[in-house]
């Protein structure tokens, strides 16, 4: 065995880095703080620009990893302590309880049927309902219990569970483990759009982010793949998609989010594909950045679906007493002031570092945009300032999937080279 590596984060980058390491003979512990793998793509059914299924791309990686004796997955887990000595690392790994033992669970779902608690799904407000037992349909499929929702003394799920997988008294577990190298793949999250008060996010259930659009309208989601607006479960006749929300904006995030334009096109495609002529779709943009392979073709394909493009930014989104939405927008390509009254508004937000606190714990610097900072060695764009800690995927800044995967493969190679080199710093 070449060594033992810790991969932090189980999105596309973490999975690809782990796969590279395992194939090079490295034992890998992958810690993911969420309940499933896939990160931002765990809800995204179809990827731009070619509309491949995200589950297919990530699922293949996971299946290969799960079959390896060198791979250990810890879901619901975060790094709680960290130290470095003589070029090697010791990490505390804190695992939150899921209250269901995955080794015993046969995924039958009887616990969900037996659970008496039901409430509005906070991830798909207005469209979905949840039980206190949650089914995670991602990679890997599994169940967990939100104990804070359980009434005192209830154990209906445990009684219904044939194989005895429910563990209602499970607590947090913490282990200390040693590693020869670390890969940070903690990714990106949307900027808090409540800071852009003028766009109305948080004031209407019908103003949502691109990620929320993916969650609400995925084919196996709460609407069964139909495009419904959260406030009244009706199909929207007009959808407005706004790009650069908080991005390229000195008051918020000055940099480009890299994927917002393509996400807007992808979501416009989804609406048009499912609702056709029944829905008018407007994409309000600063300039469409279609700079990757097949991106320009995809842009043309979406234009061909009669999506309307307006070059400009809305001044302010108005939410009327009856919940209806409207905004004025000056189209700088036609020099016309337009008024739109959309039924659904989708905002493509700035993207920010998902784990700035982890940087402090690991002793890795952040750059001026708040992402994990690369060492200025451009020949190896995955090196952090700490020898032996490498950075993969969007932890260093937004990227599309192809760049994320390529970058994560380089991080795995760099970690292998580090582990094969005599140390002592
Ligand atoms: C809404 C949306 C749609 C997109 N669609 C496309 C598309 O169609 N095509 C395309 O090319 N690109 C797309 N992208 C870009 C794509 O998401 C990224 O390229 C890719 O997902 C980045 O993977 P990642 O692993 O770097 O980060 P992420 O996907 O963010 O994954 C990071 C993982 O790390 C975990 N994590 C975070 N902090 C910690 C911690 N402290 N401890 C443990 N785990 C942690 C997170 O829970 C997450 O699972 C999209 C981006 C967004 C936001
Ligand atoms: S009833 Fe038991 S075996 Fe079935 S899904 Fe629930 S925990 Fe798993
Ligand atoms: S203990 Fe009761 S409320 Fe909690 S998950 Fe089980 S059945 Fe549902």
Task: Give residue-wise pLDDT tens across range 140-188.
Answer: 999 999 999 999 999 999 999 999 999 999 999 999 999 999 999 999 9
Of ligand 3's listed atoms, the one at least distance from the Cα of 155 is 1
Within 6 A (CB) of ligand 1 lie 8-14, 31-34, 39-41, 44, 47-48, 78, 185-188, 210-211, 214, 259, 263, 266, 351, 354-355, 358, 393-394, 399-401, 404
Spacing of C-alpha 35 from chain mean position: 12
- What is this structure's pTM? 0.95
| Residue 271, pLDDT score | 96
Q: Which residue has better confidence, 376 or 325? A: 325
CA 20 to chain centroid, in Å, comes to: 21
pLDDT value of residue 376 = 80
Confidence of residue 107 (pLDDT cuts 50, 70, 90): very high
Ligand that comes closest to the CA of residue 399:
1
Which ligand does the CA of 106 lie closest to? 2
**Structure confidence at residue 57 as a pLDDT band (50, 70, 90):** confident
Atom 2 of ligand 2, residue of closest alpha carbon: 161
Nearest CA to ligand 1 atom 48: 39
What percent of the chain shows pLDDT beyond 90? 86
Ligand nearest to the CA of 217: 1
- Looking at the chain, the whole-number percentage of residues with pLDDT higher than 70 is 100
* Residues ≥6 apart with Cβ < 8 Å to 289: 256, 258, 261, 262
Using 50, 70 and 90 to split pLDDT, how confident is the model at 336? very high
Query: For residue 157, which atom of ligand 2 is closest to its CA?
Result: 1
Pick from 125, 160, 166: nearest CA to 145: 166
| Cα 76 to averaged position of ligand 1 atoms, centre (Å) | 16
**pLDDT per position as a tens digit, 392-404:** 999 999 999 999 9
DSSP secondary structure of 193-261: GGG-GGG-BTTBTTEEEHHHHHHHHSTTSTTTT----TTT-PPPSEEEEEEEESTT-TTS--S--SSHH
Q: How far is the centre of ligand 3, averaged over its atoms, from the C-alpha of 73 (Å)?
A: 26
Closest CA to 82 of 69, 97, 93, 73: 93
Domain positions in the chain: 3-96+172-187+354-420, 192-350
Predicted confidence band at 209 (pLDDT cuts at 50, 70, 90)? very high
Q: What per-residue confidence (pLDDT) applies to 422? A: 80
What's the rounded Cα separation, in Å, for the pair 126 and 271?
19
Q: What is the mean pLDDT of the chain?
A: 94
3-96+172-187+354-420: CATH topology: FAD/NAD(P)-binding domain (3.50.50)
Give the residue with greater pLDDT, 89 vs 1.
89
What does the CA dihedral 182, 188, 194, 197 come to, rounded to 10 degrees?
130
Q: How far is the CA of 333 from the centre of ligand 1 (A)?
A: 34
User: CA 58 to CA 56: how far, in whole Å?
Assistant: 6
- The answer to whether 263 and 230 are in contact (CB under 8 A) is no
Helix axes 295-303, 260-275, angle to 10 degrees: 40
- What are the tokens at 345? 């508004």
Ligand number nearest CA of 13 is 1
How many angstroms separate the alpha carbon of residue 106 from the centre of ligand 3?
18
For ligand 1, atom 37, the nearest C-alpha belongs to 186
Nearest atom in ligand 2 to 109's CA: 5
| Whether residue 410 has its Cβ less than 6 Å from ligand 3 | no
Confidence of residue 315 (pLDDT cuts 50, 70, 90): confident
Tell me how far apart the alpha carbons of residues 265 and 282 are, in angstroms, rounded to a whole number: 10
Atom of ligand 3 nearest to the CA of 156: 7
Q: What is the pLDDT of residue 260?
A: 93
pLDDT band (50, 70, 90) for residue 304: very high
Kindly report, residue by residue over 242-284, the tens digit of the pLDDT: 999 999 999 999 999 999 999 999 999 999 999 999 999 999 9
Residue of 17, 8, 147, 179 lying closest to 77 (CA atoms): 8
Q: Encoding tokens for residue 24?
A: 């090079």
Query: Which listed ligand is nearest to 16 at the C-alpha?
Result: 1
Instruction: Taking residues 82-90, report their average pLDDT.
Output: 96
Same CATH topology for 3-96+172-187+354-420 and 192-350? yes
Architecture of domain 192-350: 3-Layer(bba) Sandwich (3.50)
């Amino acid at each position: 065995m070449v060594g033992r590596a810790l991969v932090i984060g189980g999105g596309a980058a973490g999975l690809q880095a782990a796969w590279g390491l395992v194939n090079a003979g490295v034992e890998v512990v992958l810690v993911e703080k969420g309940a499933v793998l896939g990160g931002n793509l765990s809800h995204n059914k179809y990827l731009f620009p070619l509309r491949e299924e995200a589950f297919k791309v990530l699922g293949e990686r996971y299946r290969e990893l799960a079959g390896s004796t060198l791979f250990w997955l810890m879901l619901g887990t975060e790094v709680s302590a960290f130290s470095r000595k003589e070029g090697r690392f010791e990490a505390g790994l804190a695992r939150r309880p899921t209250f269901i033992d995955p080794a015993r669970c046969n995924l039958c779902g009887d616990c969900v049927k037996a659970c008496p608690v039901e409430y509005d799904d906070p991830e798909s407000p207005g469209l979905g309902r949840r039980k206190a037992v949650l089914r995670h349909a991602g990679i890997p499929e599994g169940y967990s219990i939100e104990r804070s929702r359980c009434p005192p003394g209830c154990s209906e799920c445990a009684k219904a569970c044939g194989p005895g997988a429910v563990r209602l008294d499970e607590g947090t577990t913490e282990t200390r483990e040693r590693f020869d190298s670390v890969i940070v793949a903690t990714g990106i999250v949307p900027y808090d759009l409540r800071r852009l008060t003028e766009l109305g996010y948080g004031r209407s259930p019908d103003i949502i982010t691109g990620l929320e659009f993916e969650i609400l309208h995925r084919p196996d989601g709460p609407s069964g793949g139909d495009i419904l607006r959260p406030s009244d479960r009706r199909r929207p006749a007009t959808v407005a998609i706004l790009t650069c929300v908080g991005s390229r904006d000195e008051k918020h995030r000055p940099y480009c989010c890299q994927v917002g334009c393509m996400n807007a096109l992808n979501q416009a495609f989804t609406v048009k594909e499912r609702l056709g002529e029944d829905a008018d779709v407007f994409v309000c943009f600063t300039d469409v950045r279609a700079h990757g392979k097949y991106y320009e073709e995809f842009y043309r394909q979406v234009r061909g679906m009669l999506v309307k493009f307006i070059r400009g930014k809305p001044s302010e989104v108005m939410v009327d007493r009856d919940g209806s939405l409207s905004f004025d927008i000056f189209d700088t390509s036609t020099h016309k002031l337009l008024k739109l009254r959309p039924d659904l508004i989708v905002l493509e937000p700035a993207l920010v570092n998902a784990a700035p606190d982890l940087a402090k714990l690991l002793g890795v610097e952040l750059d001026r945009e708040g992402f994990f900072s690369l060492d200025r060695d451009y020949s190896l764009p995955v090196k952090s300032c700490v020898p032996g800690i490498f950075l993969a995927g969007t932890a260093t800044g937004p990227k599309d999937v192809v760049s994320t995967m390529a970058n994560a493969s380089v991080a795995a190679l760099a970690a292998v080279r580090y582990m094969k080199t005599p140390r002592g710093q």
